[in-house]
Amino acid sequence: MPKYIPKLQLHDISTSTVKELTTADLLYQLSMLEIENYSITPRVLRTKTFLVRNADTTPIVSKEEYEYGGNKVIKFSINVAYLQTDLTNSTLLGERVSFISSGSNISGTTTGYSSSASQTAILHSIEKKILIDAIQSSESIVLVDILERTNGQSINLDSSNKPAIHTVLLYKVLPGRTLVVDPSNFLFSSHLANTDFNKELADAGLPVIETIHKKIQIYKPNNEIGTGYAVDKYRDCGDLAVKLAFGFNKQMLTTFDKKSIEEHPVVIRLSNIGTIDKSIFEEKSVVRIKQTSSLLAQEEFAMLQSSIDQKLKMTMQTHDFLNVKYKYDYKVIIDSLIAPDAILNNLLALDQNYNQDLCDSLNATHQQLEITHNEYLLELTGQSTS
């Protein structure tokens, strides 16, 4: 099968002209290198359009369209390769900023955080531009790239000393408000509710941005394994944001607080955090099928996982040998490098086998109890053969 390549194009906003990019274009080559690092399946990315105001402008911002099974979402993204960074003078695209070289703090355990500090953090002009473009777009749910922050203040640098980029979901369904749903670490995006920027939005007649200033983490990658497209890797924030948007397109949020977000079925299905998805009993596995683009496959996996989890909890004490065996078999299946449909079929077979083995074990236990009971009666009547 030939390698899938999304449509790549350059849109000159000033002249309303669109140029299709080819392999001869440097921008095309850089884009393909970047796309290969995504953790989302490349086929889900349909179009990536670089936005410029004249042909010679550096294409810092692009608009991406993701689609699966008729479910679509738009993302305004930052092209890191074109971010001119001066670490010596602490400038990004000529603007003074503060950097921190610790890299991405995926665990969400940064210390010293306060909501007031994040609300006074200064947004970079590139963040403001992307946020305004997204807020003014027609979609009620839209994704945006932002500059990943530490404690709402300093911009994180990745391992290549480039500004770390984080993707979040903007939910635009409430009058005058735009809610930020962060797919993996609220610390990275808490600065979006900046007081001064919200005043700018309000003065322009645009909805203000609201973040949830409480620790909420829907997904947690493993730093040692890392994120990426390969099936043995964890998902990144860009992938998770797309999958959250797919889910919310079909099943909207109705209440906007920490508890409601963590208890929403879409979030539970995607999460690899045991306090959110309480059916998880193998938290150290990648379990990428939970974040598949197919909402139907997500739902089927959630039902099978819940069914197996309930059986394991019921038999933990009484049938420990079955419990250990099926936990092992479950881990082998979910860690296998096979397609989601094959994983679901294997899990269904495992669930059915567990039902049968449990039934056989219960019957054997019942028969043994009957034998013991009959021997006890014989012994009481003096007819025991022992």
The full DSSP string for 179-203 is EEE-SS-GGGTGGGG-HHHHHHHHH
The reported pLDDT for the residue numbered 365 is 47
The reported pLDDT for the residue numbered 337 is 72
> What are φ and ψ of residue 93, in 5° steps?
55, 35
User: Structure pTM?
Assistant: 0.84
- Domain definitions of the chain by residue range: 284-386
What 3-state DSSP class applies to 137?
coil
Whether 209 contacts 172, CB under 8 Å: no
**Rounded to whole angstroms, how far apart are CA atoms 135 and 144?**
10
**Rounded to whole angstroms, how far apart are CA atoms 334 and 108?**
26
Full DSSP string of 295-364:
HHHHHHHHHHHHHHHHHHHHTTTTTHHHHHHHHHHHHHHHHS-S-HHHHHHHHHHHHHHHHHHHHHHHHH
Residues 6+ apart with CB under 8 A from 313: none
**Rounded to whole angstroms, how far apart are CA atoms 366 and 352?**
21
**Rounded to whole angstroms, how far apart are CA atoms 251 and 214?**
24
**Rounded to whole angstroms, how far apart are CA atoms 109 and 265?**
26
| Nearest residue to 115 (alpha-carbon basis) of 213, 11, 258, 198 | 213
Whether 50 contacts 17, CB under 8 Å: no
User: How do the pLDDT tens digits run along the chain, 386 residues long?
Assistant: 457 788 999 999 889 999 999 999 988 888 888 887 788 877 899 999 999 988 778 899 999 999 998 999 999 999 988 888 999 999 999 998 888 875 444 434 444 566 676 777 889 999 999 999 999 999 999 999 999 987 667 898 988 888 999 999 999 877 889 999 999 888 888 889 888 999 999 999 999 999 876 778 899 888 888 888 777 888 999 999 999 999 999 998 888 888 889 999 999 999 999 899 988 877 677 888 889 888 888 998 898 888 888 877 776 656 666 677 777 788 888 887 778 888 888 888 888 877 777 666 655 544 554 555 455 455 556 665 55
Which tokens is 345 given? 């079929």
What 3-state DSSP class applies to 63?
strand
Distance set, CA 32 to CA 36, 40, 46, 210 (Å): 6, 14, 13, 34
Give the relative orientation of helices 195-203 and 125-136 as an angle to the nearest 10 degrees.
40
